[in-house]
Structure 1
Amino acid sequence: MIRELKTFLAVVRYGTFASAGYQIGLTQSAVSAQIQRLEEDLGFLLFDRTGRSAVLNAAGRQTVALAEELLNVYAKLSDQGDTAEKTGLIRAGAIASVQASFLVHAIEGFRQKLPGWRVRVVPGVSLNLLAQVDSGEMDAAVIIRPPFSLPGELTWQSLLAEPFVLAVSAELAGQPWREVLKSRPFIRYDRNSYGGRLVDRFLKKNRIAVDDVVELDELQGIVGLVQQRVGVALIPQASSLLMPEGVSVLALGADTFYREIGLVQPNTRGLHAAALHFAACVIAAAGNQAAAPSA
């Protein structure tokens, strides 16, 4: 609730949700979401809403002084040996494929530097994780780059570019990828995910009609279905993917397309020092993975 109270006082100080968001590094929608959560926790409305405007109501005016008092008490915790700066919680979102790869080393490096801080990793698909960063529920998230521009209050740091390949059963190794894709049942990377949209765009661009038999988001599950000869699949070469015996990959050559993995977070105005350090650890770990020679 501390974060929401700070946002509430920022709205009171700067007059509008948009102005408050600009000053503290959040989007207007993120400010609105935090105020709504605060109102739900308190059990009463703080603003009278008419159209796009929100005016502090009587309950809100009474809450201002109490919120300031509470935050002043909270701030005094830092007088106890600067403990408030040495402990805390980082809330980080991550798509499944990075949780078993460079994110492990990023958390290790972060914990070595700031052992008093805990890290909570929240799994999810990129679209949902992006929304949680935008709403202020998370400090950062490692996701697939969205196919649209991010709000100005969020920053994007590219980490890795993973090429897509055609995963096939071993007996199809060495065959032309285009012929295989057209003639075999197709296991589709979920179109609700950013990665799945890249696959869909690739197929349409190349005018390739496929015979869909299964659609799912879990990459390792897709590889398992290929191993069982259910079909073939276009998947990114993520470092965490295990290619079991019986599965081969066909390179797409000049037609190769990529899944861009990156770190999304509020701009530096909205970040505390620990969150900035966590971001630096993620960037460094991804860079080390990209520089490592392929097996």
Structure 2
Amino acid sequence: MKFHALSTLIAVMEHGSFASAAEQVNLTPSAVSLQMKQLEAYFRQPLFDRSGRSVRPTPFASRLARTVEKAVEDIEALREVNDLALAGRVRLGITESAQTTLLPRAFAAVRRQAPQIELQIDRGTTPGLLNDLKAGTLDVAVVFRPTTGGSSRLRWTDLGRETFKLLVPADLPVASVAQVLREQPWIRLDRELVAGRLAARFVDTLAPNRQALVDLPGVEAIVGMVAIGLGVSVLPELRAELLGAYPVREVGLGRQAPSRQMAIVRRATDAGNRRIDAVEQAFREASGTI
């Protein structure tokens, strides 16, 4: 079996046909077909169903392509003649909060310092992004550190801490945070999110067994509801642009205020990958940690 056949398989899976893949890898369709037959002989099972007018990949072909994709990409990177050039794709996962705060400045830093790096950006929640990172479908992620657990397979670099605040309508008088939480409708951030669980635990300490008016997965939706007087909420500190766009204000929660740690995380086995180093450096610069 030749290494190039694996690259060709990935191209076939991405482009959907032998002919389209042939253009991508600079081969003829017949040469692509021959490489696929060589792979089938090596693994002793079919990779494609050829009974119809077009070939369709088998489940084994999909599994094989997923298994070798990252390895093929890394091996190809080692073949670059000019290793000093920071070039290639970096698959970045990022939470919604970081996407609207750190990402613009970090993206600008990457474009300035390593313009040949291509960022492929996927948005998600912290648990999902960490799973994707461990599975190899992401190279690096900007997430919030889980309150418990962790993995020796991952390397964390802190980017800053966000403190939670009580969000109220701009004209609502606040003498006591506990009193507001007991008397005003509570608009709760979804507890599937790390921030939602932290906020809910804090509310429970001041207003035990408090029932929420509604659960919402997005911060901006909550801000909009608070702005028209539907209730109050406990949220991570808002960015200035969002806070200034609505008639709301933030109230400090005192020494017991929850907080969450934003971090950039990568696989420990990727130590020394200069493309990921460059992206990490850009986010550290954007967060002011360097």
Fold in common (TM above 0.5): yes
Alpha-carbon deviations, 1:208-230, whole Å to 9, x = none?
33231111121111111101211
The match for 2:284 is 283
Asked whether the 8 Å contact 1:169–1:232 carries over to 2, the reply is yes
Instruction: Output aligned runs, 1:239-278, within 5 Å.
Output: 239=239, 242-243=242-243, 244-267=245-268, 269=270, 272-278=273-279
SS of 1:172's equivalent?
coil
Deviation for aligned residue 1:245: 4.0
Gaps of 5+ in 1: 7-38, 48-58
SS of 2:242's equivalent?
coil
Measure, in 1, the Cα distance between the counterparts of 2:163 and 2:93. 23
Instruction: Output aligned runs, 1:72-83, within 5 Å.
Output: 74=76, 78-79=80-81, 82=82
Asked whether the 8 Å contact 2:153–2:269 carries over to 1, the reply is no
Measure, in 2, the Cα distance between the counterparts of 1:100 and 1:43. 38
The match for 1:30 is none
1:44 maps to a residue whose letter is F
The match for 2:179 is 179
Pairing partner for 2:60 from 35, 40, 44: 44
Equivalences, count: 234
2:224 maps to a residue whose letter is G
Identity %: 26
The match for 2:118 is 118
1:98 and 2:98 matched: yes
1:275 maps to a residue whose letter is I
Asked whether the 8 Å contact 2:93–2:140 carries over to 1, the reply is yes
Measure, in 1, the Cα distance between the counterparts of 2:187 and 2:214. 5
SS of 1:161's equivalent?
strand
Asked whether the 8 Å contact 2:86–2:274 carries over to 1, the reply is no
Over aligned residue pairs, what C-alpha RMSD do you find? 3.4
The match for 1:202 is 202
Deviation for aligned residue 1:73: 9.0
> Quick check: which has more Rg, 1 or 2?
2
Alpha-carbon deviations, 1:223-276, whole Å to 9, x = none?
111012111100010426612342122211222221221111112545521111
Measure, in 2, the Cα distance between the counterparts of 1:269 and 1:219. 33
Measure, in 1, the Cα distance between the counterparts of 2:283 and 2:252. 29
Deviation for aligned residue 1:83: 7.8
Asked whether the 8 Å contact 2:94–2:122 carries over to 1, the reply is yes
The match for 1:211 is 211
2:278 maps to a residue whose letter is H
Asked whether the 8 Å contact 2:184–2:231 carries over to 1, the reply is yes
Deviation for aligned residue 1:286: 0.7
Provide closer, same or farther for how the CA distance between residues 194 and 86 of structure 1 changes in structure 2, counting only shifts above 3 A: same
TM-score relative to the length of structure 1:
0.69
Asked whether the 8 Å contact 1:168–1:250 carries over to 2, the reply is yes
SS of 1:44's equivalent?
helix
Measure, in 2, the Cα distance between the counterparts of 1:74 and 1:265. 20
Deviation for aligned residue 1:157: 1.5
SS of 1:91's equivalent?
strand
Asked whether the 8 Å contact 1:184–1:211 carries over to 2, the reply is no
Deviation for aligned residue 1:206: 3.8
Deviation for aligned residue 1:171: 2.3
Measure, in 2, the Cα distance between the counterparts of 1:126 and 1:255. 24
1:138 and 2:156 matched: no
Provide closer, same or farther for how the CA distance between residues 271 and 193 of structure 1 changes in structure 2, counting only shifts above 3 A: farther
SS of 2:277's equivalent?
helix
Asked whether the 8 Å contact 1:101–1:240 carries over to 2, the reply is no
Provide closer, same or farther for how the CA distance between residues 163 and 75 of structure 1 changes in structure 2, counting only shifts above 3 A: closer
Gaps of 5+ in 2: 8-46, 49-56
Deviation for aligned residue 1:45: 8.1
Provide closer, same or farther for how the CA distance between residues 208 and 241 of structure 1 changes in structure 2, counting only shifts above 3 A: farther
1:193 and 2:193 matched: yes
TM-score relative to the length of structure 2:
0.70
Measure, in 2, the Cα distance between the counterparts of 1:178 and 1:262. 31
The match for 1:18 is none
1:233 and 2:249 matched: no
